[in-house]
Amino acid sequence: MSSINYSEKIPNNVNLGEDRTLQRALEGWQPNFINWWDDVGPEGSTNHEVYLRTAVSVDPNGWAQFGHVKMRDYRWGIFLNPGDTNREIHFGDHKGEKAWQDVPGEHRANLRRIIVTQGDTEPASVEQQRHLGLTAPSMYDLRNLFQINVEEGRHLWAMVYLLHKHFGRDGREEAEALLQRQSGDENNPRILGAFNEKTPDWLAFFMFTYFTDRDGKFQLSALAESAFDPLARTTKFMLTEEAHHMFVGESGISRVLSRTAQVMKDLKTDDPAQVRAAGAIDLPTIQRYLNFHYSVTIDLFGADQPSNTATFYSSGLKGRYEEGKRTDDHVLKGQTYKVLEVKDGQLLENEVPMLNALNEVLRDDFIKDSMAGVGRWNKVLEKAGVPTRLVVPHKAFNRQIGALAGIKMSPDGRVVSEAEWTARKAEWLPTPEDFAFVASLMGRVVGPGKFAGWIAPPVMGINRQPVDFEYVRFN
Ligand SMILES: [Fe+2]
Ligand SMILES: [Fe+2]
């Protein structure tokens, strides 16, 4: 099962050819997908040949192959990790029973919702990033953007396959709707808030791929535990691709910081205005971008104590991050978790049933993982001898979802008045002036080995190619 059949119209390792009805239905969806790509995918990229990796196997050693392809001709397909016929459900009320190959009737609506919500984020990010190619800081970065775009397209395929195969007519309707909603559309927006925000520039793109693709990692990891085996297997393979997206974000911000630190050292200044005048991005602006992307991303984990998390977990639909590595009973009844609540305008910690707090558990796991990378960014500053450090804002800062949306919090964790919030918001979140300044730096630099002045070159190229390799042929 690990080799992929590329002789069919839709590359796959699920023996698609044996199920003619399903194959025809997906082949019917395929041109609609291509139309969607042409309409709202990467702008002006049709004739580019991009040095992309394509999955050729689900074997972790050597799953991908690299070569120049036109993105429109990318072999989007359906790849599931190898199955284990004896796999058992390892958490919740069905623990110890055999994993499901089909959707149990009683969980159909919830599973469909989970798959649609995940599926919706994939094309959304392609839409959010569609103009960025026009202002790429280098050919290397342009290639990375396009790699992420085609893989998000493939993640959409992964979810659409499940909808078509396991949810009959409603599944096919949902698959169509995934191509109709559009990021930021007033009448038919994407499902989740952060996926309707703009990604106006490359600083935002790197923050997005660092924080928001990491939300993807945590959601996919929780789904990779699912009792619904096809969902578990497909999300496991998606995680393999996801790692590169977060790498692009983490290394992108590191390179921005390294350039900024260089300018600060050369000019012997930490004055943002002077840093900007020298064509680099000042640290306070980077911090404000971080505050924004971090806070909208942690909102993606949902409300702190919704009742559906208990249902999702106990019925085996969605586990915790690294469920298999945890040493508790994997049932969680009678256990508690501390969540933050707001009472009389103040924050307090409250102990609630763990099963109701699983969104919070996942959010806290995400926070830990995010902070580790921010620590690595600070190492760049430290090494360059710059004393400023980036900080992750308080969990309650700028929240729109859950109990914490009910207060105004400073990044350093003080409850503040409406008046103070309004007065200081411009210190904490990117302002129109910040966006305008960053936009002013976004010229297109795409000659091989050339880099825009606000970002340092990477340490090495993609797939052991040199940094000045021709990653994109413009034709
Ligand atoms: Fe994705
Ligand atoms: Fe991603």
Q: pLDDT of 112-162, one tens digit each? A: 999 999 999 999 999 999 999 999 999 999 999 999 999 999 999 999 999
Ligand 1 center from residue 407 Cα (angstroms): 32
CB atoms within 10 A of CB 159: 26
| 241 Cα–ligand 1 center, Å | 8
Q: How far is the CA of 152 from the centre of ligand 2 (A)?
A: 6
Residue 142: other Cβ atoms inside 10 A: 25
Distance, first Cα to last Cα, the chain? 38
Instruction: Please check whether residue 394 is in contact with residue 341, taking contact to mean a CB–CB distance below 8 angstroms.
Output: no
Distance 227 CA to ligand 1 centre (A): 21
What is the Å distance from ligand 1's center to 125 Cα? 8
CA 419 to ligand 1 centroid distance, Å = 39
User: What is the secondary structure of 206-266 as a DSSP string?
Assistant: HHIIIIIHHHHHHHHHHHTT-SBHHHHHHHHHHHHHHHHHHHHHHHHHHHHHHHHHHHHHH
Residue 78 DSSP label: B
Q: From the CA of 148, how far away is ligand 1's center (Å)?
A: 8
Q: What are phi and psi of 189, to 5 degrees?
A: -75, 170
pTM over 0.95, yes/no = yes
Cα 243 to ligand 1 centre (Å):
10
CA of 199 to the centre of ligand 2 (A): 14
Which ligand is in closest contact with the Cα of 223?
1
Q: Ligand 1 mean position to 149 CA, how many Å?
A: 9
User: What single string gives the DSSP state of each residue in 157-202?
Assistant: HHHHHHHHHHSHHHHHHHHHHHHH--TT-SSS--SSGGGGS---SH
CB 368, CB 375: distance < 8 Å? no
Contacts 24+ apart (CB under 8 A), 108-114: 108/167, 110/308, 110/311, 110/312, 110/315, 110/317, 111/228, 111/231, 111/317, 112/163, 112/167, 112/170, 112/171, 112/174, 114/223, 114/231, 114/312, 114/317, 114/318
Count of CA atoms in the C-beta half-sphere (13 A) of 146: 34
Q: Which ligand is nearest to the CA of 123?
A: 1
% of the chain surpassing 70 pLDDT: 99
Tell which residue, 151, 173, 135, 157, has the closest CA to residue 455. Answer: 135
As a whole number of angstroms, the distance between CA 205 and CA 198 comes to 10
Contact between 179 and 119 (Cβ < 8 Å): no
475 alpha carbon – ligand 1 mean position (Å): 29
Angle at 367 between CA 363 and CA 373, to 5 degrees: 145
Q: Which two tokens stand for residue 83?
A: 């199955």
Q: How far is the CA of 366 from the centre of ligand 1 (A)?
A: 16
Q: How far is the CA of 273 from the centre of ligand 1 (A)?
A: 37
Q: How far is the CA of 424 from the centre of ligand 2 (A)?
A: 33
- CA 201, distance to chain mean position in Å, is 17
Distant-in-sequence, close-in-space partners of 207: CB < 8 Å, separation ≥ 6:
249, 253, 289, 290, 292, 293
How far, in Å, from the CA of 295 to the mean position of ligand 1?
Answer: 20
Q: Each residue's pLDDT tens digit in the chain (475 positions)?
A: 457 788 888 999 999 999 999 999 999 999 999 999 999 999 999 999 999 999 887 887 778 899 999 999 999 999 999 999 999 999 999 999 999 999 999 999 999 999 999 999 999 999 999 999 999 999 999 999 999 999 999 999 999 999 999 999 999 999 999 999 999 999 999 999 999 999 999 999 999 999 999 999 999 999 999 999 999 999 999 999 999 999 999 999 999 999 999 999 999 999 999 999 999 999 999 999 999 999 999 999 988 778 899 999 999 999 999 999 999 999 999 999 999 998 888 899 999 999 999 999 999 999 999 999 999 999 999 999 999 999 999 999 999 998 899 899 999 999 999 999 999 999 999 999 999 999 999 999 999 999 999 999 999 999 999 999 999 999 8
User: Which ligand approaches the C-alpha of residue 242 most closely?
Assistant: 2
Distance from the CA of 461 to the center of ligand 2, in angstroms? Answer: 20
